[in-house]
Structure formats: C-alpha cells, structure tokens
Amino acid sequence: MTVKLFQPYQLKEVTLKNRIVMAPMCMYSVTEKDGKATDFHITHYTTRAVGQVGLIIVEATAVEEQGRISEFDLGIWNDDHIAGLHKIVEQAHQYGAKMGIQLAHAGRKAEVPGSIYGPSAIAFDESSRVPEEMSVEKIKQTIEAFKQGAVRAKQAGFDVLEIHAAHGYLLHEFLSPLSNQRTDEYGGSQENRYRMLSEVIAEVKSVWEGPLMVRVSATDYTEGGLTIEDHVQFAVWMKEQGVDLIDVSSGALVRAAINVYPGYQVKLSEQIKEEANIPTGAVGLITSPLQAEEILQNNRADIIILGRELLRNPYWARGAADELQVEIEAPRQYQRGW
C-alpha cells in the first residue's frame, strides 16, 4: 500500500511535503492587546514545524480591531503586525513547513470593548450583546479590510491564505438565514447571502496569487439554518471564483445539540468534495494515523487537518510515520532520538 498521508500534496504552486495540516486554533496569547505576535506564538508554531507538520495555519487573525474574538487575538489590521508574523513564518520555514494564515472577523461573536457588528441586529445567544446591523458602507469597509489583510499576509511571507467563513463568525453570519435577516442585496436569497463572501474572495484574489482556502461550517445543526446542500452550492461558486480547497468544519452559529464522535465531520467533507468537485480538508476528532489514512485512501478528503491532537502532541507526524511504516527525515538536531 502506498501511504497517502506522507505523499506530497500540490496546492496550486505550493507543494506540501505531506498531507498533515495544523488547524487554526486561537491561542489568546497577545499580551498587550495590540494584535502583535509574541514569543509564545513563535515557539508554538515553530514546534509543530519541527514536528514535521506539512502545513501550519496560524490562528484566526483579525482583519479589523473590532473583528477580534477577544482582546488577546492576533491581528493583521495594520502594518505593525507584519514583522511579528514574518518572524513566525521565517522560523517555521527553516524546518520545511509551509505556512498559512486564517483571515478572520468575529462579527457578532466579538468580545471586545466598543461596538460589534453583524449582518442583522440579532445576538448570538441571550447572554451576548446585540450587534449593530452593518450598513452597506460598513460591509464594503470590512471587505477592504480582508483585502488589506491579504496584502499584509503576502508581505509577511505566508504560503497559503484561508478565509474564515465558519463557526458563527462574520462571514458565516452572512451566509446563514438564522443570523442574516437583511432585505437588501446582502440578505434573503441564497445568492444574496453568499454575496459578502463572494466579494471578499474576489478582493482577496485581486492581491493574492497563492493558494486560497475557505473554512466553512457545513451545517448549522438547526432547523432553518444552513445544510450540507447549501454548502455544496457555495462550494461550486467558490470553485468558480478560484478557491483551491474547502476546509470543512461545522456548527457554532447558534447553540445546538451536536452528536460528536471520531470523524463526525468527515462525511461533510466527502459530500462537498464529490458533489462540488473541489478538494477538501477533513477536520474534527481525527486522532489516529490509521483513521487519517482511511479518509485519504477512500477519497473522503485531500488533506487531514488536526487541531487538539497537535496541541497534545506536536510530534504526531513522527508517531504516524512509525505506525504506518513510513520513513521520514528527522530534523538534524533530533536524529539521535528519532
């Protein structure tokens, strides 16, 4: 058997040395509330590069100050953020990892002082603040912020961009009728609700030539919300716009009961991959090398995106190679131990 997990993967012109990807996970570790990367971020991401992860996606990084999930999030809303992000990229590149960054806006789920924004004046839940409904002018400003974030990501040296349109944050809020009850060109029909994400993709692609991924929540798990069928259609449109891969997650727009089990989101990845004919990444309680290999061998996804498992074990790739009987090159400094 040819082990697919350790085969290179071509993402546009970028070659990943294997199909192991680190999911973007908020670290809430900005110390001065200024969005700037710290020594922790450099250590955190470089460790996974040493551990031989093929692609590392830096956590949700806010394109606007009011788009942070918390005051301790990374930012990319001004040029002062570029140097710290570049240092993360530079360090990780030394160990053969490709580097991605997730451009994000928290929308109504932002927990920062001052105004928060959403497509409609509907709170996330009863304990959350009601967002201001965004004017068309504010929507255009935010789309421009995503574009400028892409410019800065390019200047920082990232290989891959991911647009965050999942987990109940701003772009997901526009997509779902549960959170978007607008009556203008950004609300109502499926096409209108897709419009903001469409315009973000178009503006980002006007300044970014590299691989572009979009993370989606493929179901809202709630009656009246988005379904996998909606996301197949969105994926078709994204492919037409030149998106290279869909990172398939689910949920988090509203409080919902979710039956969570190993690989519970893989079937969503598989359906989008097959029906929209676009590469996908599978994520969600994928922990074992055999589980990852089964997903790839059965063409249920093209890459394996690991989150908490890489928090527990930065050297997961080494153990996976041993279990799947594949030889990988150890970092020079670790050859005696590996």
Exposure string over 23-58, b if 16+ CB within 10 A, otherwise e: bbbbbeebeeeebbbbeebbebbbbbbbbbbbbbbb
Tracing tokens 């970092």 back to the chain, one arrives at 331
C-alpha angle 52-57-58 in degrees, rounded to nearest 5: 115
The verdict on whether residue 62 carries a ligand-binding annotation is no
Q: Give the list of residues 6+ apart from residue 127 with CB closer than 8 angstroms, or none.
A: none
The verdict on whether residue 166 carries a ligand-binding annotation is yes
The verdict on whether residue 165 carries a ligand-binding annotation is yes
The verdict on whether residue 28 carries a ligand-binding annotation is yes
The verdict on whether residue 215 carries a ligand-binding annotation is yes
The verdict on whether residue 102 carries a ligand-binding annotation is yes
Provide the 10 A C-beta neighbour count for residue 159.
Answer: 23
The verdict on whether residue 297 carries a ligand-binding annotation is no
Strand partners, 103: 61, 163
The verdict on whether residue 308 carries a ligand-binding annotation is yes
Asked if residue 38 lies in contact with residue 87, where contact means CB atoms within 8 angstroms, the answer is: no
How far is C-alpha 217 from the geometric centre of its chain's CA atoms? 10
Strand partners, 133: 118
Backbone angles phi, psi at 306, to 5 degrees: -105, 135
From the CA atom positions of the chain, what is the Rg in Å? 19
Residue 32 token pair: 């001065």
Q: Give the list of residues 6+ apart from residue 139 with CB closer than 8 angstroms, or none.
A: 186, 196
Crossing angle of helices 190-205 and 228-241, rounded to 10°:
30
The verdict on whether residue 167 carries a ligand-binding annotation is yes
Q: Burial level of 102, CB count in 10 A (0-12/13-18/19+)?
A: buried
The verdict on whether residue 164 carries a ligand-binding annotation is yes
Question: How long a stretch of residues is the chain?
Answer: 338
Asked if residue 56 lies in contact with residue 22, where contact means CB atoms within 8 angstroms, the answer is: yes
Annotated binding-site residues read 28, 60, 102, 164-167, 215, 307-308
Annotated binding-site residues for substrate read 28, 164-167
Annotated binding-site residues for FMN read 60, 102, 215, 307-308
